[in-house]
Structure 1
Amino acid sequence: MNEPQIVSKFTYNATVKQLVEVTGEIRIFRIELDSDEYRFIAGQYAVLGLLKEAPRIPEAAEVEYRETTTDPMIRRAYSISSGSGDAHNLEFFISLVSSGALTPRLFALKRGDRLFVAPRAKGIFTVDKVPEEKNVLMVATGTGLAPYISMLRSEVLANQGRQIAIIHGASYSWDLGYRRELESLNATQKNFTYLPVISRPHDDPSWSGKTGRLPPILDEAQLDHYCGFQVDPLSCHIFLCGNPLMIEDAEERLVGRGFKADKGRVRGTLHMEKY
């Protein structure tokens, strides 16, 4: 009689099924879990891990961040971008930090390689706390877009009575992950609007869309027009995800307009997740 396999916190329990290179430093990881019982709410994150002896990409910085724990595995939290209806596959939108401990190892993975996924997703950055009749503006920089993709794929667009807008900022147009998917939704879904923005147009001369930093855009008189609905705290909730400096700047502007930060038990109309 075979003994049941014991899965510990040091055991790899998932396989890389597909890698999609957005740019050399931004990648989409599609992972198949050994178990088909993984459950999460759109907007939550999972902890990924690799053993410290796992190889790093050659482009990684010579000096890397050193772990101070005795844990033989390096673990980091990443927002899930896949829809919550699939209990066997997960997707992640990850940016390389060349001096980091984990991402240079993650970027060295190839199709078929193994890694660790913590058994439970965590996080309260979820849209389920927003009343169904309220519109939602989602603002993100870089890979902070990931939880919004999960929300869109999982449940948000099923509520046709709610208007949703995503404003996504990146340095260059080629950094705008999921752009084709979002442009398609923008063209086909009456209750969805997508506004991509780049901050370095001088280095991206082919770009003809919106440019600038995201926080000042939230003060523009045309914001309601960009979103397709009135952006005010009585009828709208706002989500902010990504660069901490962007979030701090945007929070100050939005609180000044009457939005209130959501802090778990203290409910508000402004939801934030810093990367």
Structure 2
Amino acid sequence: MKDWVVGKVVNLKHWNEYLFTLIINASIKHFIAGQFTKLGMIIDGKRVFRAYSYVNSPDDSNLEFYLINVKNGKLSSCLHSLKIGEEIMVRERASGFFVLDSIPDCKNLWMLATGTAIGPYLSILRHSIGLNRFQNIVLVHAVRFFKDLSYLSNMFFLQKKLNNLKIQTIVSREKCSGSLMGRIPNLILEGTLESKVNISLNSQDSHVMLCGNPYMIQSTRVLLENTRGMKRNLKNSPGNITTEQYW
């Protein structure tokens, strides 16, 4: 099949009953940290595929994907059932502009994610190229339950490696030590998020990357536009809000 290569599952990790990580070996074209590709399988005689962000650094020999088994999801349930040694189709070329090269220079870079959308940020941070032009990088991971913070230990590892990285977790459905409780837009509106990390979020020296739930992206973008004077970062019109939506 043109533009697709066959990959093999070399490792996997089931974090809980619905979150899992696939490690795949496949001969793909080089990608840029922050980009996504498509994974596919033949299901009932038809090729079914979905877009997923790379979690691994472009320098890694294997490909890493952080996934959720969606209820009644045609592809995700099959991906969830894969075993080491089984094959999967991978799009040969990556897509997307959710990369550091598209981010203007600024003092504070905010990386806001919900759920499995933490993936592209981990790829960028693991690659670590180009991060020193930001004085502060704030990685915010919002989930429903503490058990959904699958990559928390890896995030803390990256924080030790990168002097300008700050981490803040948000859990919406239970109280957890060290985590804020609530949702990203509300915590920005109330000033709670900025107060917790002790960094200002404004249009003068901040850039916000948004990846995850479409409602979070839309509501946060509108909030930042209306209350912080920010605008979308477009190819021909630089701004301070960069978004990624591929579903």
TM-score, normalization: structure 2?
Answer: 0.90
CA distance in 1, matches of 2:243, 2:54: 16
- Give unpaired runs (5+ residues) of structure 1: 1-7, 55-71
Tell me the equivalent position of 1:22.
15
Q: Out of 23, 43, 50, which is 1:52 matched to?
A: 43
Identity over the aligned pairs, expressed in percent? 32
Tell me the equivalent position of 1:271.
242
| 1:72-99 deviations in Å (ceiling 9; x for gaps) | 311111011111123x421111111121
- Write the mapping of 1:57-68 to structure 2, written as runs, cut at 5 A: none
**Offset of residue 14 of structure 1:** 0.5
8 A Cα contact 1:79 1:146, kept in partner: yes
CA distance in 2, matches of 1:264, 1:23: 39
Higher helix share: 2
Q: Letter of the 1:180 partner, please give it.
A: S
* Residue 101 of structure 1 pairs with residue 74 of structure 2: yes
Q: Runs of 4+ in structure 1 displaced over 6 angstroms?
A: none
Structure with larger Rg: 1
Tell me the equivalent position of 2:229.
258
CA distance in 2, matches of 1:75, 1:160: 36
Tell me the equivalent position of 1:226.
196
- Write the mapping of 1:81-100 to structure 2, written as runs, cut at 5 A: 81-86=55-60, 88-100=61-73
**Offset of residue 171 of structure 1:** 0.6
Length, aligned pairs only? 244
Q: Letter of the 2:233 partner, please give it.
A: D
**Offset of residue 181 of structure 1:** 1.0
CA distance in 2, matches of 1:80, 1:24: 22
Range with greater deviation from structure 2 (117-126 or 254-263): 254-263
- Give unpaired runs (5+ residues) of structure 2: none
Q: Out of 35, 38, 46, which is 2:29 matched to?
A: 38
Q: Out of 162, 168, 174, which is 1:195 matched to?
A: 168
**Offset of residue 270 of structure 1:** 0.2
* Residue 241 of structure 1 pairs with residue 221 of structure 2: no
Residues 161, 241 of structure 1: alpha-carbon distance in 2 compared, 3 angstrom cutoff? closer
Residues 156, 192 of structure 1: alpha-carbon distance in 2 compared, 3 angstrom cutoff? farther
Q: Letter of the 1:31 partner, please give it.
A: I
Residues 200, 167 of structure 1: alpha-carbon distance in 2 compared, 3 angstrom cutoff? same
Residues 164, 11 of structure 1: alpha-carbon distance in 2 compared, 3 angstrom cutoff? closer
Residues 226, 184 of structure 1: alpha-carbon distance in 2 compared, 3 angstrom cutoff? farther
Query: What's the Cα RMSD here?
Result: 2.1
Q: Out of 87, 96, 104, which is 1:131 matched to?
A: 104
**Offset of residue 183 of structure 1:** 2.2
**Offset of residue 175 of structure 1:** 0.3
Q: Out of 13, 17, 22, which is 2:6 matched to?
A: 13
Residues 137, 227 of structure 1: alpha-carbon distance in 2 compared, 3 angstrom cutoff? farther
- Write the mapping of 1:199-218 to structure 2, written as runs, cut at 5 A: 199-201=172-174, 207-208=176-177, 209-218=179-188
